Amino acid sequence: MLEALSDRLGAIFDRLANRGRLSESDVAAVLREVRIALLEADVALPVAKDFVNAIKDKAVGSDVLTSLTPSQTVVKLVYDELVELMGGAAARLTYSDAPPTVYLLVGLQGSGKTTHAGKLALRLKEQGRRTLLVAADVYRPAAIDQLKTLGKQIDLPVFDEGQGDPVRIARDGVAEARRLGIPTVIIDTAGRLQIDDRLMDELEQIKAAVRPTEILFVADAMTGQEAVNVAQTFNARLGITGVILTKMDGDARGGAALSIHRMTGAPIKFVGVGEKVTALEPFHPDRLASRVLGMGDVLTLIEKTQSVFSEQQAEALAQKMRKSQFTLDDFLEQLRQVRKMGSMTDIMKMIPGLSKALPKDISIDERDVAKIEAIICSMTRRERERPEILNGSRRKRIALGSGVQVSDVNKLIKQFDSSRAMMKQLGGLKKGRFPKLPMGMAR
Q: What is the DSSP string of 124-141?
A: HHHTT--EEEEEE--SST
The kind and range of the H/E element at 424 are helix 406-426
For residue 297, pLDDT beyond 80:
no
Give the sign of the dihedral formed by CA 350, CA 354, CA 359, CA 365: negative
Looking at residues 180-190, what average pLDDT do you find? 94
Domain with CATH 3.40.50.300 in the chain: 101-295
Which pLDDT band, with edges at 50, 70 and 90, does 340 fall under?
A: low
pLDDT tens per residue across span 89-107: 788 899 998 889 999 999 8
Q: What is the pLDDT of residue 83?
A: 86
Picking from 132, 32, 22, 116, the residue whose alpha carbon sits closest to that of residue 71 is 22
pLDDT of residue 437: 38
| CATH architecture observed for domain 3-85 | Up-down Bundle (1.20)
Reported as a single tens digit per residue, the pLDDT across 199-235 is: 889 999 999 999 999 999 998 877 767 778 888 888 9
Q: What does the alpha-carbon distance between residue 315 and residue 304 come to, in Å, rounded to a whole number?
A: 18
> 291-300: buried (b, 16+ CB within 10 Å) or exposed (e) per residue?
bbbbbbbeeb
Do the beta carbons of residue 383 and residue 389 sit within 8 Å?
Answer: yes
Residues in contact with 177: Cβ distance below 8 Å, sequence separation at least 6, in sequence order: 100, 132, 159, 183, 184, 185
Distance CA(215)–CA(184), nearest Å, equals 14
pLDDT at residue 5 tops 50? yes
Q: Give CA–CA dist 371/408, Å, rounded.
A: 9
pLDDT bracket for residue 44 (50, 70, 90): confident
Q: CA distances (Å), 139 to each of 174, 179, 199, 339, in order?
A: 20, 27, 11, 38
Tell me the C-alpha distance between 232 and 47, whole Å. 14
Confidence of residue 362 (pLDDT cuts 50, 70, 90): very low
User: Average pLDDT over the chain, rounded to whole?
Assistant: 78
Q: Does the pLDDT at position 353 exceed 50?
A: no
Angle at 278 between CA 276 and CA 279, to 5 degrees: 70
Q: pLDDT tens digit string along 372-430?
A: 889 999 999 899 888 889 999 999 999 999 899 999 899 888 878 776 766 565 554 44
Q: By the 8 A CB rule, do 398 and 407 touch? A: no
* Domain range 101-295, CATH architecture: 3-Layer(aba) Sandwich (3.40)
**Could you read off the pLDDT of 109-152 as tens digits, one per residue?**
888 899 999 999 999 999 999 999 999 998 887 899 999 999 99
Cβ distance 97 to 120 under 8 Å? no
**Chain segment 13-25, per-residue pLDDT in tens:** 777 666 666 667 7
Give CATH 1.20.120.140 domain extents, the chain: 3-85
64: confidence class by pLDDT, cuts 50, 70, 90: low
Q: Is residue 147 within 8 Å of 118, Cβ to Cβ? A: yes
Say what percent of the chain tops pLDDT 70: 73
Asked whether the predicted pLDDT for residue 166 surpasses 90, the reply is yes
In angstroms, the CA 107 to CA 199 distance is 11
Give CATH 1.10.260.30 domain extents, the chain.
300-440
Which CATH number is associated with domain 300-440?
A: 1.10.260.30
As a whole number of angstroms, the distance between CA 331 and CA 411 comes to: 15
The CA distance from 378 to 310, in Å, is 28
Structure confidence at residue 443 (pLDDT): 35
- Residue 29 makes CB contacts below 8 A (sequence gap 6+) with none
Work out the percent of the chain whose per-residue pLDDT is above 90: 28
The winner for highest mean pLDDT among 74-78, 94-98, 329-333 is 94-98
